[in-house]
Amino acid sequence: MARKATCPHCNQFIEIDDGFKKFQNRKYHLICYKLAMEEIYENNKKDIDPKQELYEYICKVYGTQEVSPMINSQIERYMTEYPTWKYSGILYTIRYLTEVEKTDIKNNPNIRGVGFLPYKYDLAKQHFLIVKSANDNLNEQLKNKTIKDFVIDKKIRLKPINYDNNDKDIIKIEDL
């Protein structure tokens, strides 16, 4: 009697009634096949050139086919002026502003292109590191908090503000 195949995605046996789909000579549950393909797609996206990913995001925000010459020259200038900057960091900063701080960078009259980048780059990076260093359960909640929602305690561990807690030892991040 033939051994039951094990699905490489969930490591469970595939029962005869389950149905399966083959990929690279392995049998997958139908639902697992779908999930596995999505994962492969997500991983492929990570191979996208970071500059291309940044420019695609800017086009999406501005609803244009191409990045305007002004924004293009701003970005190139900043990349020269700030040697430690990365395109992925610029992308994160713009995403931080639009998705977390909910700033309408396209229509705000005080914003000229991406002129906010030198003021926001490090702030967005801090936010990224807080979210990244927090455990997975907290991650989803933290993603939507701005940097002002965090405090640093005496041991310089970042944690979300507990607004009910009047602990005097807590130092606000903007006081540092």
Residues 71, 107: contact at Cβ < 8 Å?
no
Cβ nearer to Zn ion, comparing 29 with 120: 29
CB 62, min distance to Zn ion, A: 42
Shortest Å distance, C-beta 89 to Zn ion:
37
Two tokens, residue 79: 């990349």
Supply 160's token pair: 């979300």
Which string of DSSP letters, residue by residue, matches 26-43?
A: EEEEHHHHHHHHHHHHHH
C-beta of 43: minimal distance to Zn ion in Å? 18
Task: Find the shortest distance in angstroms from Cβ 40 to Zn ion.
Answer: 15
Segment (H or E) for 22 = strand 20-23
Least Cα distance to 81 among 93, 90, 92, 68 occurs for 90
Q: How many residues does the chain have?
A: 176
The answer to whether the CB of 24 falls within 8 A of the CB of 62 is: no
Give min distance, CB of 16 to Zn ion, in A: 14
Write the interaction track for Zn ion spanning residues 1-40; mark x where CB under 5 A is met and - where it is not.
------x-xx------------------x--x--------
Question: 6 vs 133, which CB is nearer to Zn ion?
Answer: 6
What CA–CA distance (Å, rounded) separates 165 from 154?
A: 15
- Taking the least distance from each CB to Zn ion, the nearer of 31 and 111 is 31
Q: Which is nearer to Zn ion, 4 or 77 (CB)?
A: 4
| Backbone phi and psi for residue 75, each to the nearest 5 degrees, phi listed first | -60, -45
Size of the residue set binding Zn ion (CB under 5 A) = 5
Query: 9 vs 120, which CB is nearer to Zn ion?
Result: 9
Q: Which is nearer to Zn ion, 32 or 131 (CB)?
A: 32
CB of 38 to Zn ion, least distance (A): 14
Distance CA 34, CA 52 (A): 27
Rule CB under 5 A: which residues touch Zn ion? 7, 9-10, 29, 32
